[in-house]
Amino acid sequence: MSSIEVDLGAASTMELVNAIAAITRELAGRAAPESPAACLEIAETLAAASDQQESALAELIGRVDASGEMRRWGLPSTQAWLRSRMGMRETRAKERITLARQRHRLPRVTQLLATGELSHGHASTVADAVARLDDEDCATAEKVLLDMVDQGFSAGKVATFGRRIRDVIAERDDTETPDQDTQRGYEQSWVTSTRSLDGGRYIKGWLNAEDTAIWDGTLAPLAKPAGPDDRRDLPERTAAALTSVLAGGHRATKVTVICDLNTLTGGTTPARLTDGTPIPAAHARRIALSAGVSPLILGRGHIPLYLGHRARFATPGQRQVLETLYPTCAVQGCEVPATLCEVDHVTGWALGSPTDIDQLALCCGWHNRFKHTNAEQIHIIRDTTGRHIYRVLPPPDANAPPTQPTQPTQPTELAQAA
């Protein structure tokens, strides 16, 4: 049993946040009431309170975003801060950033969200709808969309109408507001790809007439049905044809699969790709039957991994080993894949660090520059696998926030968790 007493009028923002954190911990540890009706009522009240907390969070995020404070803490962007320090998914981080950046243009939305009269879902939807409008149209759109909320429309319906508002404005101004894909134009070919949660990849793009001819001439023959028993539809056959071309047909393709010797000899430990995607042990053994198998030797004689001061830049062999050791940037919390990182001398080439495999790490370009200019904020350790782990320390002048809730005396209003 615990009790928190806070003078709501005199307490600082940090004291209020500490009180909320303490109450939340107490609430999370309690079992739900037996009555489903009570649970329904409590859940709705708790959700409304959470929306009001989102209002306060949006203002805090907006202040950090506008000042660039996250960069002093070794984070390249506001989105990186939300993802690495708060554990948000990319879509949730983008949603909160959009709301934080649009609050000053949405006075009614900001007020209603703060007083609990508007849900965070509706507020985020309105913020996203007006993000690409000028200030005058933004004010009109805010009124129209809030009227829809008052009429009981869901956030999804409001979002759909918000997109329609942009179309109407484009027709009024006799201009086009193409989406990001359309803005690329139709002269140059382009392809975008997004990694899915299960390790797959979504692909979207556009090919101009010349590249389309190459596509059709190369893939069309390979995408034909293999025979009367081929039950695949055209999209499935096209995907198989594209994979065949990317793999080079009879030529081997370079895909690095990392596994233990025990896995190759019948063990059940999964293998993995260099980006961390797990590969079932049985699949790894099948791949090994038709692929080259290279032992990972950290020493001379197989791959030149120790170059001393004779060479400034890492060799392809060294990079291959590093991509095996580092799935992402060496900085804790940074999610940049190893294949997009730079090879970094752990203690700095200018300070005498040799180009030896045990003195190298993979670091994204932003953190590589940050490490060079803010060496006092980088703490480096080496784990049992031989990897160097970089941890970004707070800036020297940062005031560490209190770790325990404060308990001001002489309360006038009480918020209790008992």
List pLDDT tens digits, range 128-142.
989 888 888 899 999
State residue 178's pLDDT score.
55
State residue 391's pLDDT score.
92
58-62, 71-75, 267-271, 329-333, range with greatest mean pLDDT: 58-62
Band (248; pLDDT cuts 50, 70, 90): low
More confident residue, 337 or 312: 337
What percent of the chain clears pLDDT 90, i.e. is strictly above it? 26
Tokens of 163: 């997109």
What digits encode the pLDDT tens for the residues 358-373? 889 999 888 988 998 8
More confident residue, 197 or 350: 350
Whole-model pTM: value is 0.62
Return mean pLDDT, the chain.
80
State residue 348's pLDDT score.
81
**What letter would DSSP give residue 291?**
S
> Are 118 and 51 a contacting pair, CB within 8 Å?
yes
Parse the chain into domains and list their residue ranges. 31-177, 208-246, 257-289
> Is the confidence at residue 125, as pLDDT, over 90?
yes
Helices 36-67 and 78-86: crossing angle in degrees, nearest 10, is 140
Amino acid at position 269, single letter: T
9-13, 47-51, 213-217: least confident range: 213-217
Burial 313-352, CB ≥16 within 10 A → b, else e: ebbeebbbbbbebbbbbbbebbebbbeebbbbbbeeeeee
Band (90; pLDDT cuts 50, 70, 90): confident
State residue 414's pLDDT score.
32
State residue 338's pLDDT score.
86
> Is the confidence at residue 279, as pLDDT, over 60?
yes
Q: What angle do CA 128, 131, 135 make, to 5 degrees?
A: 135
Band (292; pLDDT cuts 50, 70, 90): low
